[in-house]
Amino acid sequence: MLVPWTQYLNSNHFYLLDYVFDSSSTQAEDINRLHVYFLFAAAFILFVVIGCTVLVLLKFRHRQGVDYQPKSLSQKWEILTIGVPMLLVIVFFVLTLKTMHRVLPEVNGRKPDVVITGHQFWWEANYPAQKVITANEIHLPAGRTILLKLLSADVIHDWWVPDFGNKMDLVSGKENYLWLNIKKPGVYHGACSEFCGAQHAGMQLTVIAEGEDDYEKWLTSHASLPAVITDTIAQIGEKLFTEKTCGNCHNISGTSNRGRDGPDLTHLASRKTLLTGLIENNKDNLGKWILKPQEIKPGAKMPDFKMDKQSADEIVAYLSSLK
Amino acid sequence: MQSSYEIEQPRAAYKDYKILRWLTTVDHKEIGIMYLCMATLFFVVAGLFALLMRTQLAVANNHFLGPNIYNQVFTMHGVTMIFFVMVPALLGFQVYFIPMMIGANDTAYPRMNAFSFWITFFGGLLLYFSFAAGGAPNAGWFNYAPLNEYNYSDSPGIDYYCVGLLLAGTGTISTGVNLIVTILKYRAPGMSLKQVPLFVWMGLVNSFLIVAALPSLNAALSMLLLDRQLHAHFFNTASGGDALLWQHLFWLFGHPEVYILILPAFGIYSEVFQVFSGKRIYGYAFVAGSTVAIALLSFGVWVHHMFATGLGNTVNAFFGASSMLIGVPTGIKIFNWLGTMYGGSIRLTVSMLFAIAFLIEFTIGGLSGIAFSIIPIDWQVTDSYYVVAHLHYVFIGGSLFSVFSGLFYWFPKMSGRMLDEKLGKIFFWLMVLGFNMTFFVQHFLGLMGMPRRVYTYPDLPRFTLLNLVSSCGALLMGVAILVLFYNVYKTLKHGKPASNDPWDGFTLEWYSWALPGMKNFEEVPEVKSRRPFFDEKYPEKADWKNND
Ligand SMILES: [Cu+2]
Ligand SMILES: [Cu+2]
């Protein structure tokens, strides 16, 4: 299967752990600093344990015929082995408190910039101030601190873009918040990290971080309606879209299709990928998806309409004109 | 070093037993063996599931198993390994050896003992019946709400999960009660609670943990069953239920469960380190006392499984602190075992090799565990393959290795024959190599952004490479297990007969016959120290004479 979004990714993921230690947000910077401290402490402890084990094994092996006198270790060591770990615990607890409050400070009534809702198995992004709704490819501004509000429409999902640091669950019946200050524009990859059903693996996540100008441009273009359809085939497709009840699940602004159970399709053609990044957004793939959704993404919450090829082509013509 | 203390063997091996005998027995040793056989049976099945998963994940975008099958397979792998492999295997050793180590002839309630075994076994069978009834459970071993509700998972698998685990849980609780009474009431004359072998002590603490922790799971399962069958609203968020309530109830059981799987293992290692170092444990009081501390603390750390659910900084800070603290008494035990080996005369038997490997594997698993108590790091790595690596380092490097260690240590007492040490060493090295190959790279996969429980993953740089290494490691572990099975088979057929005390042991089970019959002891020596059998064999060096 095609995995197109890798083409759009930052190509700086070169070293093994760049995904996590790349710190593309200030939150990730804080977390990763603490993580590196921890890795040093852990490596030190592991080194001590392995070292002691090897030394003991070299020194105290059983030798045939040699009678030995068991020696025992002074109880003083016991105090040392409690003292050092306790000290480490205290240090790391203080660091934990500090980092935790920096990464996730109180919301204090601030309005969220974007509301993200997790659905089985896709993401909805709602920009309340601009009245923009989109799906799966989430545009966010770089260079300033924003607040995301996280909700779930069904089961528990989890927001995780490794480059940005922390996860946060999207819990049904609960409002969660996440602060984010993305350092530089780029395309970042993430995935739902709480098992959420058949297509948990197919619930990838793409964040497109943009400079302030590009971001504003994107918002205005998405706040307006798509251009009027002039192509005749696309016009047939528009009718079919409503007739085939696609509108029960999908919203297309400016039409009678108001569904909310599937991704918003108002500006579908402006997205680079489909199905949270599983396949590239082109006519060919759109047609395949509409004809055989359960083959492309088995378990996805869109039924097979047993549609004929021609109707599918007409709908595709319509959908791919929704810029 | 054979002991000079030999008692004649009363009667031949178990092989002239008939099947009816096994079905009706109430003898703790036979029940112990049946527990181990049950664990083996389920281990084979769940191990094959693991191989299926690793085959599916060997390369990116694989289509070997679809999501539907894969999700059942990973769920059943986890549920089976925890509830029907590790729990029964460790209970098997406890039911067999705790009475012998305290000089008793059976557990306090032999018939309840048999009941516990059978109800656990039937629980397992019922769980597996789900495959025939329309689909196995498929929402993971911790089965989060509201995905576990009828409106999101309509196959009957999760109903079987509830009933199967309720039955098994009932069995486990009654074994816990049985062991508590046995240890408190049936110790040999003179054996104070401060003198019981550490395996027994761990068994006692563990049994209290079982009795205290499992009710929380049973309550959650019953509530879920009410939700699913009678449309109650405990966890169903669509009708006002609470999704996080399930997590609280589950992990209030689930975290102590982790210790239920590791305390008996600590017990086995403590015995093995002592005997094969030819020395008493370093810091008995500390090992015993810290176990109690762990058991108590283990009820106050469950939210570390929920740091990313948005409970707020105050709650998270409390549970972060308690989780870091619980690491200390656990970690220091490592130094007690090292201190036990220090100054000893170490015999590198297969049993001892597994114990030594455990020291290092468990340190790795423990350290990656500490990472989860540092809340910001938890936010980064939780629910990724890093967790998968961590939990296998503690479950395999900790619990499963103890079962192997115990098997090689106690096999003579259970079968009257010695397992082949040469084959055992081949098994050991294959196992350790395969295990580290499979799981060490998963730390990196998690750090690179691979979420757990995915049936496939995109072709990102190096994802396939590391996953392939992991899959090859799993295969190696599979080969290792085959070597172990061949070893057991060969030994049972024509292995070297064992004496009653092949390892120069310290505790009373070695005082019994090479292959004990219905009765474990005609009489037991007077217990004056923690190593009664050692005192009996070496009266001039007896512990109670040079008490320090
Ligand atoms: Cu999800
Ligand atoms: Cu835990």
The CA distance from B284 to B290, in Å, is 10
DSSP A151-186: EESSS-EEE--GGG---EEE-TT--EEEEEEB-S-E
- The mean of the pLDDT values for chain B is 93
Tell me: cis bond preceding A121? Omega within 30 of 0 counts. Answer: yes
Query: Which helix (H) or strand (E) covers residue B497, if one does?
Result: strand B496-497
Top pLDDT among A18 and A323 is at A323
Q: What is the mean pLDDT of residues B26-32?
A: 95
Residue A36 pLDDT: 92
The CA distance from B301 to A176, in Å, is 22
Strand ranges, E, within B287-424:
417-418
Residue A323 pLDDT: 86
Confidence of residue B547 (pLDDT cuts 50, 70, 90): low
Q: Which among A35, A77, A192 is the nearest to B339, CB-wise?
A: A77
Indicate the SS3 state at residue A65: coil
Residue B22 pLDDT: 87
Q: Which tens digit of pLDDT belongs to each residue from B490-504? A: 999 989 999 999 999
Contact B351, B412 (CB under 8 A): no
- pLDDT above 70: percentage of residues in chain B: 96
Confidence of residue A18 (pLDDT cuts 50, 70, 90): low
Q: What is the mean pLDDT of residues B159-165?
A: 97
Whether A163 shows a pLDDT value over 70: the answer reads yes
Alpha helices, H only, B9-104: 19-24, 28-56, 67-79, 87-101
Please state whether beta strands A145-152 and A114-119 pair in parallel, antiparallel, or not at all (unpaired). parallel
| A3, A17, A40, A49: best to mutate for the B interface, most B CBs within 10 A | A49
Please state whether beta strands A168-170 and A145-152 pair in parallel, antiparallel, or not at all (unpaired). unpaired
Whether B439 shows a pLDDT value over 60: the answer reads yes
Place of tokens 């080969």: B479
Place of tokens 């130094």: B335
Question: In this structure, what DSSP letter does residue A253 have?
Answer: T
Asked if B68 lies within 8 A of A20 by C-beta distance, the reply is no
Asked if B146 lies within 8 A of A70 by C-beta distance, the reply is no
B189 and chain A in contact, CB less than 8 A: no
Residue B3 pLDDT: 38
Asked if A82 lies within 8 A of B460 by C-beta distance, the reply is no
Q: Give contacts of B390 with chain A, Cβ < 8 Å.
A: none
Residue B17 pLDDT: 59
Return the closest-CA partner of residue A45 out of A75, A84, A74. A84
Confidence of residue A17 (pLDDT cuts 50, 70, 90): low
Q: Which tens digit of pLDDT belongs to each residue from B40-77? A: 999 999 999 999 999 999 999 999 999 999 999 999 99
Number of Cβ within 10 Å of residue A93's Cβ equals 18
Q: Which tens digit of pLDDT belongs to each residue from A118-156? A: 999 999 999 999 999 999 999 999 999 999 999 999 999
Residue B346 pLDDT: 94
Query: Which helix (H) or strand (E) covers residue A220, if one does?
Result: helix A212-223
Q: Give contacts of B332 with chain A, Cβ < 8 Å.
A: 78, 81-82, 85
How big is chain B, counted in residues?
A: 548
Residue A175's Cβ-count burial label (10 Å; 0-12, 13-18, 19+) is middle
Query: Which helix (H) or strand (E) covers residue A122, if one does?
Result: strand A122-127
DSSP A263-305: ---TTGGG-SEEGGGTEE-SHHHHHHHHH-HHHHSTT-SS---
Q: Which tens digit of pLDDT belongs to each residue from B450-485? A: 999 999 999 888 899 999 999 999 999 999 999 999
String of b and e for A189-223 (b: at least 16 CB within 10 Å)? Answer: bbbbbbbbbbbbbbbbbbbbbbeeeebeebbeebe
Confidence of residue B16 (pLDDT cuts 50, 70, 90): low
B432 and chain A in contact, CB less than 8 A: no
Residue A1 pLDDT: 31
Q: Which among A3, A156, A166 is the nearest to B379, CB-wise?
A: A166
Residue A71 pLDDT: 73
Asked if A169 lies within 8 A of B310 by C-beta distance, the reply is yes
Top pLDDT among A82 and B200 is at B200
Q: Which tens digit of pLDDT belongs to each residue from B109-140? A: 999 999 999 999 999 999 999 999 999 999 99
The nearest CA of chain A is from the CA of B378 a distance in Å of 8
In the sheet that holds A176-181, the strands lie side by side as: A132-135, A122-127, A114-119, A145-152, A176-181
Residue A4 pLDDT: 37
The CA distance from A77 to A80, in Å, is 5
Task: Count Cα neighbours of B488 within 13 Å in the Cβ-side half-sphere.
Answer: 15
Place of tokens 């089961």: A155
Question: In this structure, what DSSP letter does residue B382 have?
Answer: T
The CA distance from A190 to B276, in Å, is 50
The CA distance from A162 to A153, in Å, is 23
Q: What is the mean pLDDT of residues A239-268?
A: 95
Q: What are phi and psi of A256, to 5 degrees?
A: -85, 0
Domains along chain B with CATH numbers: 21-546 (1.20.210.10)
Asked if B338 lies within 8 A of A199 by C-beta distance, the reply is no
Q: Which of A55-69, B93-107, B148-162, B228-242 has the lowest mean pLDDT?
A: A55-69
- Alpha carbon B516 to chain centroid, angstroms: 25
Whether B10 shows a pLDDT value over 60: the answer reads no
Q: Which among A62, A82, A195 is the nearest to B140, CB-wise?
A: A195
Q: Which of A155-169, B2-16, B42-56 has the lowest mean pLDDT?
A: B2-16
Q: Helix B421-447 to helix B401-415 angle, to the nearest 10 degrees?
A: 160
The CA distance from B260 to B207, in Å, is 8
Q: What is the mean pLDDT of residues B183-202?
A: 95
Q: Which of A66-75, A314-323, B388-397 has the lowest mean pLDDT?
A: A66-75
Question: In this structure, what DSSP letter does residue A120 have?
Answer: T
Residue B6 pLDDT: 43
Residue B21 pLDDT: 83
Place of tokens 């760049």: A18
Whether A255 shows a pLDDT value over 60: the answer reads yes
Residue A79 pLDDT: 83
Give the ligand whose atoms come closest to the C-alpha of residue B382: 2
The CA distance from A205 to A5, in Å, is 10
Q: What is the mean pLDDT of residues A75-81?
A: 81
| Interface predicted TM-score of the whole assembly (ipTM), two decimals | 0.93
- Alpha carbon B141 to chain centroid, angstroms: 16
Place of tokens 């170092």: B277
Domains along chain A with CATH numbers: 16-59+77-103 (no CATH), 114-223 (2.60.40.420), 232-319 (2.60.40.420)
Q: What is the mean pLDDT of residues B273-284?
A: 93
Q: Which residues surround ligand 2, an ion (CB under 5 A)?
A: B 255
Residue A69 pLDDT: 72
Q: What is the mean pLDDT of residues A264-284?
A: 95
Whether A13 shows a pLDDT value over 80: the answer reads no
Dihedral of alpha carbons A40, A41, A47, A50, sign: negative
| B374, B538, B543: best to mutate for the A interface, most A CBs within 10 A | B374
Return the closest-CA partner of residue B544 out of B522, B527, B529, B525. B529
Give pTM, 2 decimals: 0.94
CA A39, A40, A41 angle in degrees (round to 5)? Answer: 90
Q: Which tens digit of pLDDT belongs to each residue from A184-211? A: 999 999 999 999 999 999 999 999 999 9
Q: What is the mean pLDDT of residues B261-286?
A: 95
Please state whether beta strands B417-418 and B496-497 pair in parallel, antiparallel, or not at all (unpaired). antiparallel
- The mean of the pLDDT values for chain A is 90
Contacts for B207 with CB less than 8 Å, ≥ 6 apart: B175, B176, B177, B179, B180, B183
Contact B92, B476 (CB under 8 A): no
Task: Count Cα neighbours of B291 within 13 Å in the Cβ-side half-sphere.
Answer: 27
Q: Give contacts of A86 with chain B, Cβ < 8 Å.
A: 328
